[in-house]
Structure 1
C-alpha cells in the first residue's frame, strides 16, 4: 500500500504572506481604532481627549472594549469614524 505524502505548501504560504503584507497598511472596516494600556487615571484622560477631539455626535466615537489588567492598568480600544462627513 502506498503511503500518502501531502503536497508541498510553500507556494500557498508565500501567497498568504504576500496577501498579509499587502493588506497590512489598509484600514479594516470603516472605523479608526486605537488600543491603549494605561493606568486607570491616564485611561480616563485619554478617553476624554478622544471625545473632545472627535465629538461622539459627528465621529461616533466610543470606547469599543476594555479590560482591567494586573495592578491599576486598563487596556481599552477607542473607535471613531475617520471623518465627520
Structure 2
C-alpha cells in the first residue's frame, strides 16, 4: 500500500502572503484593517497603541488574527470601525 504524501504548500503560502500584503491598510467592508510584522514586544506595543487610540467600546477594535513566524516575528491584523459614530 502506497504511503500518502501531502502536496507542497509553498505556492499556497505565497498566495496567502501576497493577498495579506495587498489588503494591508485598506478599508474592507465596514472595518479598517492593518497588518503588521514585528517582534513580540513591538507587537504588544502596537496593539496597545490601537486600543488606546481607538477604544474597543466605541470602535470595536480587536486583534483580528495573528500568527508566529520563523525567527520569533509576530504577524497580526488589527481591525476597527472607521469612526465611533
TM-score, length of structure 2 as denominator length: 0.68
Alignment map for 1:39-54 (pairs within 5 Å): 39-54=39-54
Please give the alpha-carbon distance, in whole angstroms, between the structure 2 residues aligned to 1:27 and 1:56: 18
How well do the aligned residues superpose, as a CA RMSD in angstroms? Answer: 1.1
Deviation, 1:35, is: 0.0
Is there any run of 5+ residues in structure 2 with no aligned partner, and where? 1-25
Q: Is the 8 A contact 2:31 2:82 kept in 1?
A: yes
The answer to whether the aligner puts 1:72 opposite 2:69 as a matched pair is no
Could you tell me which residue of structure 2 aligns to residue 63 of structure 1? Answer: 63
Q: Is the 8 A contact 2:50 2:61 kept in 1?
A: yes
Q: Cα deviations across residues 37-79 of structure 1 (Å, max 9, x unaligned)?
A: 0000000000000000000000000000000000110000000
Please give the alpha-carbon distance, in whole angstroms, between the structure 2 residues aligned to 1:73 and 1:44: 12
Deviation, 1:27, is: 2.9
Corresponding residue pairs, total: 60
TM-score, length of structure 1 as denominator length: 0.68
Q: Is the 8 A contact 2:47 2:78 kept in 1?
A: yes
Could you tell me which residue of structure 2 aligns to residue 84 of structure 1? Answer: 84
Give runs of ≥4 in structure 1 deviating > 2 Å: none
